[in-house]
Amino acid sequence: MLSSAATASATSVSARSGDILYGYLRRKTVAPFRFAQPKQQVYCKSLRPSFVAVRAMSESQTALKNQPQSSASSGKKQALISLSDKKDLATLGNGLQELGYTIVSTGGTASTLENAGVSVTKVETLTHFPEMATLVLFFFLLLENQLDGRVKTLHPNIHGGILARRDVEHHMEALNEHGIGTFDVVVVNLYPFYDKVTAPGGISFEDGIENIDIGGPAMIRAAAKNHKDVLIVVDSEDYQAVLEYLKGGQSDQQFRRKLAWKAFQHVAAYDSAVSEWLWKQTEGKEKFPPSFTVPLSLKSSLRYGENPHQKAAFYVDKSLAEVNAGGIATAIQHHGKEMSYNNYLDADAAWNCVSEFENPTCVVVKHTNPCGVASRDDILEAYRLAVKADPVSAFGGIVAFNVEVDEVLARELREFRSPTDGETRMFYEIVVAPKYTAKGLEVLKGKSKTLRILEAKKNDQGKLSLRQVGGGWLAQDSDDITPEDISFKAVSDKTPTESELADAKFAWLCVKHVKSNAIVIAKVGSLSSSLSIRLGSFMILILGLFMVKNNCMLGMGSGQPNRVESLRLAFKKAGEEAKGAALASDAFFPFAWKDAVEEACEKGIGAIAEPGGSIRDQDAIDCCNKYGVSLLFTNVLLEKRNIQSIAERMQDYHAIAMVILFGPKLRELQKQVQENVKNMMSEQLQISYGSRRHNPDSRARNGFMKPEFIASCSTFGPEGKGVVIRIASDSTESVYNFLRQQLGDLEPLLGQSPYA
């Protein structure tokens, strides 16, 4: 925001400029070849060079008319070139010159062309503008002289030659009258703003502003708009195709439209980068902007999407936030078949998970879910343990490492036999790691011609996570929380041992990367697993359970309609080794007795870690105390959706009632009823997640009192004339009391109280 002094100064300059322009235009009307200076000199002596230029131009009009001039009717073909990135410029310039084009260029571009032996007309020679001494003319001349050439291409002689339509007679007559030539080809790329603001060490705000291009986007948009007559080129990769097009004398409008589309995309991405950078300078990183653009660049077309009947492509995010961000999008593929849609999803899941760990770790993923994870000082042992967790699922999966793959590890990957029969070589779709030795890469390539070998950089933290929903997008910060950021608070009588606590943290870190309703048992260096339920294109996320011991996964159950069945599958795989393991959940346990918690305790689980937050938390605590199991609350919910809405909480009560009120008179009390329900619920129910913390000194469940009742109020019908009140409680008396209190105010409208 401008200060008052700055505002006053700007206003003064604006007023003086108006006087100057008015005086100039008046003089031009009364005495075309005279220029009066007194008032202008008093206001701004520094403008003298521009006044002199305008006067000289004005006084030379008669002479100019008698001189040969380039015009639209001259038949000369002209190309305008102004580039920041001069890659392949010499090739383009020579090619255009051979095709008979006169090349008009600016500054450094002109010098580069001249050094390559290409004849150039500098854009500064096009500044004369016959008998059109208007506000626009004066303004551009003034800026060109006073602002260090920053607007040399913002001139009617340039934009007139670009925008004039060849099939509009009066357009061409105007160009001929004023001696303006047309441009048939415009080649422009922009100031390297993106590279400057993302350079190591950053850039000052002032330098960033100076690197915002103005003239370039204006020329690109003008040429793209008039692409029927002007060929616009913004990408050096198109130079050869453009020369071939011009050489053949073609008039293919589809080719021109494609270049115009590319030009507008180029400018849009540029503006997006500027907007993103300015937002960060203005608001910082803590707020979501009211609107933003995500520039995506096509990396590859895919054979098909998630299913064979779906078309698909892969795009790379070119926003400033993703510069050097790492991840699968920028991974280098050293070997194997082209990546598919599902390959990208699975590789991303594996890489995100393995990147969480500091110690040497191996993660095996199938259908985006970790089915084996292990950390060990010896990466060979970690790999074997990760595969052993679920060798059937690991077959045909994705293997990820957070350490370099050397020759020894590569040979193990190549020759390792499945633990199921000890004979079949393990088959994988993808191997991803941060680095490979030359020998390791050579050995791994020999495993299979189709094996995709990816080299990826670790993902940066603090990125924005986007997810599409029908008609919109959800945005959130990336989930960068680590076990060091939270406290594992013992709420049971038994506190965990040091090794149990380590296993619980390890399991918690794994469950973070598994879709809900997953159960994993691990021991002697193992880790996580998952359950996901798919209904069409929707993913149902409910509860994630991980059982771990000594950082090694033993078994996993997933895909079942309830968590108990998943738990049993995991125990079936883990067998006796599950005793003493740790279990981590990404959400609280809504039930404990004769459910997942008690069954896990009965089978010998040593420790359970969960966020807490259920109205039956005390049941889970009591159950763990009965069996001597350590229960840890993290107070961090890891699920991908918010559970326990009012409707879901109602399922925890025995008495549920619904009252439907409808009628025109009800509108008078509708808002009051809704407000009453809202106020009462704010007292009864602690909705803020920050308040969902267990209080070990309280006898209440979950650290806060279970509400005596819960209720919701909503409208329905035409113009919302109806009201639905839902009430749930453990006793019909509580429901009756609530209704009597709330509906008593309706007696004058209803004629009598239904609950008197």
Q: pLDDT per residue over 474-507, tens digit each?
A: 888 787 777 777 778 898 999 888 888 888 888 8
**395 residue type, one letter:** F
* Res 140 pLDDT > 70: no
Closest CA to 355 of 365, 341, 366, 343: 365
For residue range 600-645, what is the model confidence (pLDDT) as tens digits? 899 999 988 888 888 888 999 999 999 999 999 887 655 444 334 5
Instruction: Give the whole-number percent of the chain exceeding pLDDT 70.
Output: 66
**339 residue type, one letter:** M
For residue range 187-224, what is the model confidence (pLDDT) as tens digits? 999 998 988 888 888 889 999 999 999 889 999 999 99
How deeply is 580 buried, as exposed, middle or buried, from its count of CB atoms within 10 A (0-12, 13-18, 19+)? middle
Determine how many CB atoms are found less than 10 A away from the CB of residue 268. Answer: 13
What pLDDT score was predicted for residue 333?
97
Return d(Cα 291, Cα 273) in angstroms, integer. Answer: 13
What pLDDT score was predicted for residue 89?
96
For residue range 154-186, what is the model confidence (pLDDT) as tens digits? 777 888 889 999 889 899 988 888 888 899 999
| Average pLDDT of the residues in 391-403 | 95
Helical axes 48-59 vs 135-146, angle rounded to 10°: 130
The reply to whether 225 belongs to the active site is yes
List C-alpha distances in Å: 80 to 109, 186, 233, 300: 10, 5, 10, 32
Q: What does residue 523 show for φ and ψ, rounded to 5 degrees?
A: -165, 150
For 105, the 3-state DSSP assignment is: strand
Q: Residue 459 has which token pair?
A: 């993902």
Of the pLDDT bands very low, low, confident and very high (cuts 50, 70, 90), residue 227 is very high
* Res 411 pLDDT > 90: yes
What pLDDT score was predicted for residue 271?
94
What pLDDT score was predicted for residue 1?
33
What pLDDT score was predicted for residue 268?
94
- Which pairs with CB-CB distance under 8 Å and at least 24 residues apart come from 413-421? 413/383, 413/444, 413/447, 414/443, 414/444, 414/446, 414/447, 416/383, 416/384, 416/387, 418/387, 418/391, 419/387, 419/388, 419/391, 420/391, 420/392
| Average pLDDT of the residues in 536-540 | 27
675 Cβ contact partners less than 8 Å away, ≥ 6 residues apart: none
Return d(Cα 178, Cα 181) in angstroms, integer. Answer: 9
CA angle, 584 as apex, 578 and 587 as ends, to 5°?
140
Return d(Cα 395, Cα 232) in angstroms, integer. Answer: 51
What pLDDT score was predicted for residue 137?
43
* Res 298 pLDDT > 50: yes
Helical axes 156-163 vs 135-146, angle rounded to 10°: 120
How deeply is 752 buried, as exposed, middle or buried, from its count of CB atoms within 10 A (0-12, 13-18, 19+)? exposed
| Average pLDDT of the residues in 552-562 | 67
Query: Of these residues, 76, 128, 171, 225, which one is catalytic?
Result: 225
| Average pLDDT of the residues in 35-58 | 40
Q: Tell the residue number behind the tokens 């270049």, with chain if given.
A: 259
Least confident of 32-46, 278-292, 401-415, 503-517: 32-46
Of the pLDDT bands very low, low, confident and very high (cuts 50, 70, 90), residue 717 is low
What pLDDT score was predicted for residue 79?
95
Query: Of these residues, 367, 505, 603, 706, which one is catalytic?
Result: 367
In three state form, how does the secondary structure of 422-465 look?
A: CCCECCEEEEEECCECHHHHHHHHCCCCCCEEEECCCCCCCCEE
- Selecting from 2.40.50.100, 3.55.40.20, 3.40.50.1380, 3.40.50.300, what CATH number does the domain 72-270 have? 3.40.50.1380
> What does the domain layout of the chain look like in residue ranges?
4-59, 72-270, 295-356+394-470, 483-633, 646-750
Closest CA to 211 of 200, 203, 219: 203
Query: Are both 72-270 and 295-356+394-470 of the same fold?
Result: no
127 touches 144 (CB < 8 A): yes
Q: How far is CA 349 from the centre of its chain?
A: 16
Parallel/antiparallel/unpaired status of strands 121-122 and 101-105: parallel
Q: What secondary structure does DSSP assign to 121-147, as a single string?
A: EEGGGG---TT--SHHHHHHHHHHHHT
Q: How far is CA 754 from the centre of its chain?
A: 55
Q: What topology is assigned to 483-633 in CATH?
A: Cytidine Deaminase; domain 2 (3.40.140)
What pLDDT score was predicted for residue 534?
30
* Res 14 pLDDT > 80: no
The reply to whether 178 belongs to the active site is no
Beta strands in 113-252 (DSSP E): 121-122, 185-188, 231-233
Mean pLDDT rounded to a whole number for the chain: 75
Least confident of 32-36, 350-354, 532-536, 708-712: 532-536
Helical axes 156-163 vs 169-177, angle rounded to 10°: 150
Determine how many CB atoms are found less than 10 A away from the CB of residue 657. Answer: 16
Of the pLDDT bands very low, low, confident and very high (cuts 50, 70, 90), residue 729 is confident
In three state form, how does the secondary structure of 344-369 look?
A: HHHHHHHHHHHCCCCCCEEEEEECCE
Of the pLDDT bands very low, low, confident and very high (cuts 50, 70, 90), residue 26 is very low
Of 311 and 588, the structure prediction assigns the larger pLDDT to 311
**Strand ranges of the sheet holding 77-82, from the earlier edge strand across to the other edge:** 121-122, 101-105, 77-82, 185-188, 231-233
Q: What topology is assigned to 295-356+394-470 in CATH?
A: Cytidine Deaminase; domain 2 (3.40.140)
**665 residue type, one letter:** K
Q: What does residue 121 show for φ and ψ, rounded to 5 degrees?
A: -100, 120
Q: Residue 266 has which token pair?
A: 């180029």
Q: Tell the residue number behind the tokens 């082209």, with chain if given.
A: 338
Closest CA to 372 of 409, 399, 403, 411: 399
Q: Which residues of 338-354 are buried (b: 16+ CB within 10 A; e: fewer)?
A: ebbbbbbbbbbbbbbbb
Alpha helix (H) ranges present in 299-427? 341-354, 379-389, 391-394, 407-415
**Stated pTM of the model:** 0.65
| Average pLDDT of the residues in 573-593 | 81
* Res 756 pLDDT > 50: no
